[in-house]
Amino acid sequence: MFRYAIAYKPFDVECRHGEPKDAPTLTTWGIPRDLHAAGRLDLDSEGLLLLSNDGELLHRVTHPNFNHSKTYLVLVRGHPTAEDIVHFREGIAIKTGLTRPSDVEILHSPPPLPAFDQPQPAPEKTTWLRIVLFEGKKRQIKRMTAALGYTTVRLVRVAIGPLTLPADLPPGGWRDLDPVERKVLLDWVWPHGRRSKTPPRPTSKPVARPDRRKPKPRR
């Protein structure tokens, strides 16, 4: 039976199963080993994880061909300009290639997020951005901001498609999706219903092929 869950990955937690080495892991939280994340978050990132044992769903959510959105709240050092926002929306050349266009907006007040115990610049020296990606290149947001001259100070994923990070889910917390969330997720991934991987059986007998053998010569 397929299972779907969400978690709030805290800062400095590895997005994998297994025994902790340098940092806690998903196993440390008590998350079952058969529940895997749909798109990892870096060690120094935090926020929403979608977890499942449904391999087809994990593929569809993460593969760029399906163009599924992921939303992030990003604190950067400095103050991006209107020209910078245009670059985000048109695509930015980074180490792994040109990024797809992103939806970006400047937030004029800090978003309601859990307290962050890492060193941060003074608020007047930083800017919050809301960034929506439609792909998942390695360390993409940090590389995008760096390409424009801004250091990412904090990065929080708050949504995967229509599935949002619940306000009452604390860092390190996780739970199974409720029935409404589950339906929203499946309808988003398969708007026309899940297609079976099993090829359909023929509904009629195959047409006999004509006998192409050469006729025997008459005696």
Query: Same CATH topology for 1-67+161-190 and 69-160?
Result: yes
Helix ranges restricted to H, the chain: 26-29, 55-62, 82-90, 140-147, 179-189
- Grade residue 192 by pLDDT with cuts at 50, 70 and 90: confident
**Residue pair 111/128 in contact by the 8 Å Cβ criterion:** yes
Catalytic residue among 34, 42, 103, 211: 42
7's enclosing H/E stretch is strand 4-9
Lowest mean pLDDT among 8-22, 46-60, 201-215: 201-215
Question: Closest Cα to residue 23, out of 1, 5, 41?
Answer: 41
- Grade residue 212 by pLDDT with cuts at 50, 70 and 90: very low
Using the predicted structure, report yes or no on whether residue 206 has a pLDDT greater than 60. Answer: no
Using the predicted structure, report yes or no on whether residue 196 has a pLDDT greater than 90. Answer: no
Topology given in CATH for the domain delimited by 1-67+161-190: Alpha-Beta Plaits (3.30.70)
Parallel/antiparallel/unpaired status of strands 151-160 and 46-52: parallel
Look at the block and give the residue holding tokens 């990132």: 45
Question: Closest Cα to residue 50, out of 13, 9, 18?
Answer: 9
| 42 catalytic per annotation | yes
Q: What is the pLDDT of residues 87-137, one digit of tens each?
A: 999 999 998 899 999 999 999 999 999 999 888 899 999 999 999 999 988
What class does CATH assign to 69-160? alpha beta
Please state the rounded mean pLDDT for residues 168-173.
94
Write down how long the chain is: 219
Confidence at residue 195, expressed as pLDDT on a 0 to 100 scale: 62
| More confident of the two residues 217 and 129 | 129
Using the predicted structure, report yes or no on whether residue 201 has a pLDDT greater than 60. Answer: no
| More confident of the two residues 51 and 208 | 51
Structural domain spans, the chain:
1-67+161-190, 69-160
Confidence at residue 116, expressed as pLDDT on a 0 to 100 scale: 92
